[in-house]
Amino acid sequence: MSSSIGKLSREEFRRQKDLDAARKAGTAPAELDEEGNAINPHIPQFMAQAPWYMDTGKPSLKHQRKPEDTKDHVKFGDWYQRGQRESKSANKYRKGACENCGAISHKTKDCLERPRKKGAKWTNKNIAADEIFSDVKGIDNDYEAKRDRWNGYDPNEHKHVIKEYEAIEEARRKKREEEIDKQTSTDLSTAKKLARKEKKESGPTSDGDFGSSDSDEEDEDKYAEKADMVGQKVDTDKRISVRNLRIREDRAKYLYNLNPESAYYDPKTRSMREAPNPGVRPEDAQYAGDNFERSRGDVADMQKLQMFAWQAEARGNDVHMQANPTVNELQHREYQQKKEKLNKEVKSSILDRYGGAEHFDSVPKELLTGQSESYVEYTPTGQPVHQKSDTKIQRAKSEEKKVELFDGNHVNPYGSWTDPATGKVGYECCHGTIKNSYCTGQAGKEAANASNILAISTPSKEASGSTERANDREATTSTKRRSRRSRSRSASFSSDYSSDSHYSSDDSRDERSRHDRKRHRTHAKGYSSKKDIGEGDVSRRLDKGKLRDALKHEDRRLNGSEDAATQKPDWLLEAEAINSRNKDKFKSLQSGQETDQDVTEEQLEAYRMKNRNRTEDPMANYRDEEEG
C-alpha cells in the first residue's frame, strides 16, 4: 500500500483497488516497506498511510512505532552542590578572571561579591577562591532536569517551615487566651460555662480515647472570630465551599417551556439550540436558545477555510479541510496575502492614472467640525463684528491669581451679584444674569451698564417729552373699544377729554398716573429679553431721534395689525400680505432698486422694545407648574 497517494485517474484507481483485493486474497505478494519487511494488506489505509509531515515517499509503518530515545537522561538525585570553592586561592590576578574578586570561575558582570573600591585586578589583594563545578552528564541537555525546581533540594529543610508554623499557632493560642481573660463575665465566660453545662446534661457523645474531635472543632469555630490574625477575617457563619459559580436564582433552560415537544435540551452539554418559546421574538424573550453561539468566535473563519478547501479541490489542488488542516490554513493565508497585495496594486495603478489620492488623506470630519477658542463678537442681527485688532478679555490681577473657576469660566458663582435696576441675580465677575453663560469679564460689565442706562432713559424721555404719542395711543385705544363694544363710548369720551385738558383737573391727573402705573406693571410682569446684554457698543451708536421715530412707526404698525386682525379672518390677511409683497417687488424692479431693504439698528431696537411681551414667542410666558 503506497504511503503517498496523489490524484489518481479512474483507470489507476481501479487497478489499485484490484491489487489491494488480490493482496488480501493472497493471490498477489504483500507490499514491502523500505527495510524489506512485508506490510499486512489488511491494515486500513488511514493507518498505513503516513501523515504529510512524516511522509518519506516510500511505503512504511515507522510512523506507527514509538520513536527510540537515544538521549542519556539525568537520573534522579544527580546534581552538583553549589557554592563549593577551592581551598587555596591565587596569589595574583590572572588574565580573564573577575576584575572585582579575582576568581576565574565567573565574569565581572556575574560576580556576587560586594563591589570593591579597587578591584583585585588593580590591587592583587584578597583574591577570592575559584568555584567548583561538578560536571553532571546531560544536565544542560535534558529539558526536565534543567527546569526542575526541586532538584537538589534537601527535604530536611522543610522541618524549619513546620517549626515556624507551630510557633505562629502557639502565639495565636496565647493571644486568644489573653483576650478571653480580659473579657467580662457577661459574654464569653458565661457562654463557655453554659456550653459546658449543656454538654454535661446531654451526656458524653464520644467513646473516650477513641472518640472524634468534632466537639473540639466546634469550640474552635465558636471562638475563632475572637482571635483573628492581623489581616485575616474568619466568619463561622459563611464557611462554605463554592462549587458552582452559576447564579441559582436564574431559571434553568429546560424550565422556560415545560412542553415535552418543545426545544430539545441536551443534559450532557447543558445546551438547548432552539428557542424554547418560538412564538416570542428573540428581542423580547429572556432566553432565545444557544444557536447564536454557532456564529460567534472563529466560526466564520472556519467556514471561510472550508469554502477555500472546496474551491481549491475543485480546481485540482490536493487540499482537504479534515485531512490536512494545517496545509489548508497556510495556503489560505498565502492566498489572502496575495489577494491584498493585488488589490493594493490595482488601487495604486488607478490612482496614478486618474488621480484623487488627496481625498483619501483628507482631514477627519471630527476635526473639521470641532470647536475653536477664537473670541468673536456678534451684532443683534447675528452678524460677526469685524474688529481691527484681536479683542482680549481684560481681567484684573486679583482674578488672574485665582485658580478656582466655575462653569463657563466664571470667577464668581451664580448669585454673587444682584442688578440694582432690575433686581435680577447674576455673576459678579461679568454682571451677566443668564445662568450657565460664558464669562465676558470687564467687557460684559460695560455692556450691561450701557444696556441698563438705555432701558431706563428711553421710557423716561418718552413719558416726559412726547405727549402727542400718548394722545395717539389713547385715541387708538378708544377707537378699538368703540368698535368692539358700544358701551365703551363714554369711556373713550372721558379719556379724550382727559387727554385734551392737559392735566387741568385732579381727576384726570389721577387717571393718567393710574394708567401709567398699570402700563409699567404689565411690562414688569412680562418676560424681558436678555439679548441686549453685552451689546454696549451697539447702544452707544444709536441715534435717539431716529429711535424715537422708529418707536412711533412700530406703534402704528402694531395698532394697525391688531385692528385688521379683529375685522378680517386669518386666510384673508395672509393673502393680502402675499399680494402686497409681490406688488412691492414689482415696483422695486421697475424702479431699479433692490428688493431687500437694509434695516437700521434703530428699527431693530424699536422692534425689540415693542415686541418684548408679544405672543409670537411660544416660550415668552412660560411658567413651570411646580414653581407655583
Name the CA radius of gyration of the chain, rounded. Answer: 51
Q: How many domains does the chain have?
A: 6
Residue 564 lies in a domain: yes
State how far the Cα of 427 lies from the Cα of 415, in Å rounded to an integer. Answer: 6
Q: Are residues 141 and 14 in the same domain?
A: no
Q: Are residues 472 and 588 in the same domain?
A: yes
Q: Are residues 524 and 565 in the same domain?
A: yes
Q: Is 0.85 topped by the overall pTM?
A: no
Residues 617/559, Cβ–Cβ less than 8 Å:
no
Q: Which helix (H) or strand (E) holds 32?
A: strand 31-32
Residue 305 lies in a domain: yes
Residue 265 lies in a domain: yes
Q: Which helix (H) or strand (E) holds 454?
A: helix 441-465
CB < 8 Å & 24+ apart, contacts of 152-155: 152/79, 152/80, 152/81, 152/82
Q: Write the DSSP assignment of 591-614 as a string of letters.
A: HT--SSPPPPHHHHHHHHHHTTT-
CB < 8 Å & 24+ apart, contacts of 151-157: 151/79, 152/79, 152/80, 152/81, 152/82
Q: Is the pLDDT of residue 485 over 60?
A: no
Which is more confidently placed, 568 or 123?
Answer: 123
Q: Which three cell numbers stand for residue 279?
A: 412564538
Residue 342 lies in a domain: yes
Q: Is the pLDDT of residue 22 over 50?
A: yes
- Percent of the chain whose predicted confidence (pLDDT) is above 70: 60
Lowest mean pLDDT among 86-95, 272-281, 311-320, 557-566: 557-566
The pLDDT of 293-322, averaged and rounded, is: 90
Q: Is the pLDDT of residue 572 over 80?
A: no
Residue type, 235: D
Residues 173/224, Cβ–Cβ less than 8 Å:
no
- Residue 558 binned pLDDT confidence (cut-offs 50, 70, 90): confident
State how far the Cα of 330 lies from the Cα of 333, in Å rounded to an integer. Answer: 5
Q: Is the pLDDT of residue 349 over 90?
A: yes
- Residue 432 binned pLDDT confidence (cut-offs 50, 70, 90): confident
State how far the Cα of 540 lies from the Cα of 605, in Å rounded to an integer. Answer: 12
Q: Are residues 226 and 259 in the same domain?
A: no
Q: Are residues 138 and 228 in the same domain?
A: no
Residue type, 249: E
State how far the Cα of 104 lies from the Cα of 133, in Å rounded to an integer. Answer: 12
The pLDDT of 534-548, averaged and rounded, is: 67
Residue 416 lies in a domain: no
The CA-atom distances, in angstroms, between 56 and each of 5, 33, 50 are: 12, 11, 8
Q: Are residues 603 and 463 in the same domain?
A: yes
Q: Are residues 496 and 587 in the same domain?
A: yes
The pLDDT of 448-474, averaged and rounded, is: 60
Which is more confidently placed, 223 or 26?
Answer: 26
The pLDDT of 83-92, averaged and rounded, is: 84
Residues paired with residue 85 on neighbouring β-strands, in sequence order: 131
- Residue 19 binned pLDDT confidence (cut-offs 50, 70, 90): very high
Q: Are residues 603 and 517 in the same domain?
A: yes
Residue type, 296: R
- Residue 6 binned pLDDT confidence (cut-offs 50, 70, 90): low
Q: Cα 102 to the chain's mean position, in Å? A: 60
Q: Which three cell numbers stand for residue 501?
A: 385738558
Q: Are residues 168 and 303 in the same domain?
A: no
Q: Look at the chain and count its residues.
A: 628
pLDDT at res. 342: 96
The CA-atom distances, in angstroms, between 42 and each of 1, 34, 532 are: 10, 19, 104
Q: Is the pLDDT of residue 242 over 50?
A: no
Q: On the CB side of 238, how many CA atoms lie within 13 Å of its CA?
A: 5
Q: Write the DSSP assignment of 229-295 as a string of letters.
A: PTT----GGG-------S-TTSPPGGGS---TTS---BTTTTB--S-S-TTS-TTT-S---SGGGGG
pLDDT at res. 162: 95
Q: Are residues 583 and 468 in the same domain?
A: yes
Three-class DSSP labels, 279-309: CCCCCCCCCCCCHHHHHCCCHHHHHHHHHHH
Residue 480 lies in a domain: yes
The pLDDT of 114-142, averaged and rounded, is: 83
Q: Which three cell numbers stand for residue 516?
A: 401709567
Which is more confidently placed, 556 or 218?
Answer: 556
Which is more confidently placed, 551 or 80?
Answer: 551
- Residue 265 binned pLDDT confidence (cut-offs 50, 70, 90): very high
Q: Which three cell numbers stand for residue 191?
A: 457562654
State how far the Cα of 143 lies from the Cα of 460, in Å rounded to an integer. Answer: 104
The pLDDT of 99-109, averaged and rounded, is: 92
Q: Are residues 304 and 171 in the same domain?
A: no
Q: Are residues 162 and 265 in the same domain?
A: no
pLDDT tens for 30-61 read 999 988 899 999 999 899 999 998 888 888 99
Residue 23 lies in a domain: yes
State how far the Cα of 477 lies from the Cα of 559, in Å rounded to an integer. Answer: 9
Mutual angle of helices 214-223 and 188-202, in 10-degree steps = 160
Residue ranges making up the domain that contains 47: 10-64
The pLDDT of 422-444, averaged and rounded, is: 85
Residue 38 lies in a domain: yes
